[in-house]
């Protein structure tokens, strides 16, 4: 099956599931020098989106998250580690992601920083609201100050084969985003197969996505190395064909520094070092940050710190 757009016929690309898994196993077995590991840990922080997407979100909670985004490590621990020879100041994260109603709070809390303000929209996480409502939600978030929009595709339409509708809706959201970057969430855990993940990736990029993203984080099946590798390959092929670099955001289920390094190794060897920057790669993994900080402290001092040394938000 294919999708015919105004300028391109989008066809299904076969995916070798066994080969994908073998390559992913290879990436997890790479040996990394201590200095390179420390570089990867620092990079992981700079590539991270911190998120709060709960019905219980309050302005105070968003402000607290924004403070964590600006200053990931507590001042006391930073002061202690600064005495170590290899210490470098802990960078801020790439972005904070909130619901549209909380965008203005985040904008004020992050004023004067380079941290991006992302907002989920388009009926997150189901995408089942009318298109007009979804577009109004995007417009509201952008006017409030969001610099990035994380939209979800209508998986019901995709799974029923109504690819033109999915394409048209992404294009419509992209248009109302204006200068804000559009990250398209595929919710890969609901798509069923790697071939469908590849087709959805190709469709989203052709429709105008600036980023493609694995998951909402709201279902058990979230990011995985095989799914991410398939999406990397789609990005590589799209770049070869169009010369346009699309970003990638694995989200959900990435909780340890070790996992983040596996993803960065795969990114380096699939898309190249030019993708290892916030403009083209993000981790959607708020639970990851404290483990990365813990591993940085371990690399610098040779021992682990108690969890209470790190903020729990």
CATH number of the CATH domain containing 228: 3.20.20.70
Give a yes or no: residue 313 inside a domain: no
Look at residues 224, 213, 195, 201 and name the one whose alpha carbon lies nearest to residue 124.
Answer: 213
Residue 8 domain boundaries: 2-33+98-276
Give a yes or no: residue 40 inside a domain: no
Is the pLDDT confidence value at 23 over 60?
A: yes
Which element (helix H / strand E) includes 261? helix 257-270
Angle between helices 225-242 and 194-207 (to 10 degrees): 40
What's the count of helices (H) and strands (E) in the chain, helices before strands? 12, 10
Q: Residue 174 — very low, low, confident or very high, per pLDDT cuts 50/70/90? A: very high
How confident is the model at residue 1, as a pLDDT? 47
Give a yes or no: residue 87 inside a domain: no
pLDDT-above-70 percentage for the chain: 96
183: annotated active-site residue:
no
How confident is the model at residue 251, as a pLDDT? 94
Instruction: Give mean pLDDT, residues 83-110.
Output: 95
Is the pLDDT confidence value at 194 over 80?
A: yes
Give a yes or no: residue 292 inside a domain: no
Q: Residue 5 — very low, low, confident or very high, per pLDDT cuts 50/70/90? A: low
Give a yes or no: residue 118 inside a domain: yes
How confident is the model at residue 305, as a pLDDT? 82
298: annotated active-site residue:
no
How confident is the model at residue 8, as a pLDDT? 56
Q: Residue 24 — very low, low, confident or very high, per pLDDT cuts 50/70/90? A: very high
How confident is the model at residue 4, as a pLDDT? 61
Of the listed 68, 196, 249, 294, which one is catalytic? 249
Beta pairing, strands 9-11 & 2-4: antiparallel
How confident is the model at residue 181, as a pLDDT? 98
Of the listed 150, 202, 210, 291, which one is catalytic? 150
**How far, CA to CA in Å, does 168 sit from each of 33, 126, 158?**
47, 17, 12
**How far, CA to CA in Å, does 25 sit from each of 22, 224, 313?**
5, 12, 33
308: annotated active-site residue:
no
Instruction: Give mean pLDDT, residues 41-55.
Output: 95
pLDDT-above-90 percentage for the chain: 80
Total count of domains within the chain = 1
Which tops the pLDDT comparison, 84 or 237? 237
**Chain mean position to CA 276:** 13
- As a whole number of angstroms, the distance between CA 161 and CA 174 comes to 22
Of the listed 68, 183, 213, 294, which one is catalytic? 213
Give a yes or no: residue 48 inside a domain: no
Give a yes or no: residue 237 inside a domain: yes
**Residue 234 token pair:** 């789609």
Is the pLDDT confidence value at 253 over 70?
A: yes
Give a yes or no: residue 60 inside a domain: no
* CB-CB contact of 212 with 235 (8 Å): yes
- As a whole number of angstroms, the distance between CA 296 and CA 290 comes to 10
- As a whole number of angstroms, the distance between CA 81 and CA 87 comes to 6
What pLDDT, in 10s, does the model give residues 261-291? 999 999 999 999 999 999 999 998 778 999 9
Q: 2-11, 128-137, 242-251: which has the minimum mean pLDDT?
A: 2-11
The answer to whether the pTM exceeds 0.75 is yes
- As a whole number of angstroms, the distance between CA 119 and CA 151 comes to 9
What pLDDT, in 10s, does the model give residues 292-306? 999 999 998 988 887
């Amino acid at each position: 099956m294919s999708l015919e757009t105004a300028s391109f016929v989008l066809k299904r690309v076969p995916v070798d599931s066994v080969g994908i898994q073998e390559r992913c196993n290879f990436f997890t077995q790479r040996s990394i020098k201590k200095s390179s590991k420390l570089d990867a840990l620092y990079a992981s922080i700079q590539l991270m989106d911190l998120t709060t997407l709960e019905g219980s979100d309050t302005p105070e909670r968003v402000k607290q998250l924004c403070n964590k985004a600006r200053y990931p490590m507590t001042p006391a621990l930073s002061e202690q580690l600064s005495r170590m020879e290899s210490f470098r100041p802990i960078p801020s994260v790439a972005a904070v992601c909130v619901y549209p109603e909380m965008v203005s709070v985040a904008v004020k809390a992050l004023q004067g920083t380079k941290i991006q303000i992302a907002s989920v929209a388009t009926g997150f996480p189901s995408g089942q609201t009318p298109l007009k409502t979804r577009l109004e939600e995007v417009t509201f978030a952008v006017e409030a100050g969001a610099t990035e929009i994380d939209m979800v595709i209508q998986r019901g339409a995709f799974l029923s084969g109504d690819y033109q509708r999915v394409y048209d809706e992404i294009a419509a959201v992209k248009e109302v985003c204006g200068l804000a970057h559009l990250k398209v969430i595929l919710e890969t855990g609901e798509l069923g197969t790697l071939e469908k993940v590849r087709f959805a990736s190709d469709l989203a990029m052709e429709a105008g996505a600036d980023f493609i993203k694995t998951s909402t984080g709201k279902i058990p099946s979230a990011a995985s190395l095989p799914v991410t590798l398939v999406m990397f390959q789609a990005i590589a092929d799209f770049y070869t064909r169009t010369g346009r670099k699309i970003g990638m955001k694995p989200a959900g289920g990435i909780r340890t520094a070790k996992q983040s390094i596996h993803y960065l190794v795969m990114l380096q060897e699939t898309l190249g070092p030019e993708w290892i920057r916030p403009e083209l790669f993000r981790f959607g993994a708020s639970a990851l940050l404290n483990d990365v900080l813990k591993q940085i402290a371990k690399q610098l001092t040779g021992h682990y710190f108690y969890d209470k040394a790190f903020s729990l938000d």
